[in-house]
Every structure is written in structure tokens, then in C-alpha cells.
Amino acid sequence: MKPAELSALTTEAFRPELADVDRLPTAEIARLMNAEDRSVPTAVTGQLPRIAAVIDATAERMARGGRLIYAGAGTAGRLGVLDASECPPTFNTAPGQVVGLIAGGRAALVEAVEGAEDSAELAAEDLAALELTPDDTVVGVSASGRTPYAVGAVEHARKAGALTVGLACNPGSALVAAADHAIEVVVGPELVTGSTRLKAGTAQKLVLNMISTITMIRLGKTFGNLMVDVRATNDKLRARSHRIVALATGAPDDAIEAALRAADGEVKPAVLMLLAGVDAPTATRLLARSGGHLRAALDTAR
């Protein structure tokens, strides 16, 4: 990208009023930064209808076996990898069901990989390895909306027939123009000129939180606001599983522990056993019939 093109981006704009920010007391800089951050949720609010449309379209495809795939470079790529990596322990997603691709691969999570973000071809290669289907959703993430890796990912995915989403923090970008769905969270210039890990990064994190979390709610991964598909892989999560069953059922501790043991530690069948008065095999069968939706399984049992 040429310097003139960079300076035209909202996220790269220079703010003369902050030219002496380094001379200010630390507490004043913190106040300024906090005030800047408060503007981010408002910017996201303006995109809620578009975000909801993306979630509904994604959930519909994932219910048919599709995947949610994020693709980005630098901070945007790291945020996608972070969101994807948190889905298995939180929602017990299957391996590869939510994927984060970052330009340059795993090494780029901790250090810059020279030239990786400038390669649309690299994005196409990374996605080709996943063998995309029309039921997959690919979300290109880029603060500028011009990162070749993110744009290339969306272009390749669209040619493959997958649903495509462009998430950017500048209006009218090449990324959103290439995608089926456009999400433009325009947060304005950064406190430190061009440091898009700040407001732009926060905006991207908020949107990715919404896409993954609400998609999982639509897929029946929660019961109300309880994480009934949590994967109990450590003591904290085992304690959380017990508490979730308690909140969902109001059952005594001994009954909860018995149900969790019978359900091999899985929360959904344990809740169904306690609320519907069925045994573990029946709970498992009812959940399978309902596509994993606990409320539907309860309605059937009752």
C-alpha cells in the first residue's frame, strides 16, 4: 500500500490535538484512552442488523455441518485465532468446526512474518487446504479493509461457493466489496496514529464475540445463558459444570454428581436426566433426536 493510500484511511488519520500526548501525565493519557475506548460499542451498535444477518446465515450453514472460518493478518488474524481457539472449551465444538487462519501461520501469532499479509495467494492456499464447501462461512478480518491476505481469503471463498463476510474498520473497502456480507465498524483515528490494535482491535473482538457466541446459542450450545456444552477438562471447568447443572435444575449436590457421573461429565444429558426424570441412555437419545438442542429435547421428554 502506498503512503498516500494509507493516509486516506480513517484508521490511519493523524490527530494534531494529540501531538503532545507524550507530555501529559500518565493519568491523563489513561483518561483519554478510556474515553476513546467508550466510543467503540457505539460504533458496533450501528452494525447490529448486519451482524445479526451474518449470524443467522452462519448458524443455518453450521447446522448442516458447515464451519466458521476467520482469516486475517496481524492483530486481526490473532483475534480470529483467539476466538476460534476458545470455542472448543466453551461450547464443545468439534475439531475444525471453528477455524482461525492468520497470514504466516502459527509463527505469526507471536512475531511478524515478512510479507505474509501482502499475499492473497497465501490466503487462497490456506483455504484450499481446508477444502471449502457451500456450507462454510469465511470471515475476512482487516482494520484497513485492504489487507491482501484477508481480501484474497474472501475472494477465494466466494469462488468456492462459501458464505463470505468482510469485517473492516474503514468504509467502502475492498474487503467488504468482495464479500456477501459487509460489517463496517468505523471507530475513527487511533490515540497512537495507525495503531489499529487499539480501537479497531477492540471493535473486531466485540464483533467476533457476537458472531461466535450468538451462532452457538442458535445451534443450541446454551440453555438460557448457561454453557451447557462446556467441556470439563480441568478442575475449574468440572466445578463450573456442577454449578451449571445446579442453576439449570435446582437439584441437590448428590443428585447432580450422580447425574454427571452417569453422563460421563456431560452437562446437557445430566440436566435432561434431572429435569425430565430419564436415564442417561434416554437423555442421550433425546438429545441426538433434537440435534443437541436441550430445550427441544425437554419438550419431547415431557
| Catalytic positions | 86, 117
Q: Are 179 and 203 in contact (CB under 8 A)?
A: no
DSSP 229-266: T----SHHHHHHHHHHHHHHH---HHHHHHHHHHTTT-
Contact 127, 156 (CB under 8 A): yes
The answer to whether the Cα torsion of 30, 77, 149, 218 is positive or negative is negative
Between helix 148-159 and helix 120-128 the angle, nearest 10°, is 40
The Cα-based distances of 120 to 50, 124, 171, 172 in angstroms read: 26, 6, 21, 19
Helix (H, G, I), strand (E, B) or coil at 167: strand
Distant-in-sequence, close-in-space partners of 264: CB < 8 Å, separation ≥ 6? none
Closest CA to 89 of 244, 261, 229, 215: 229
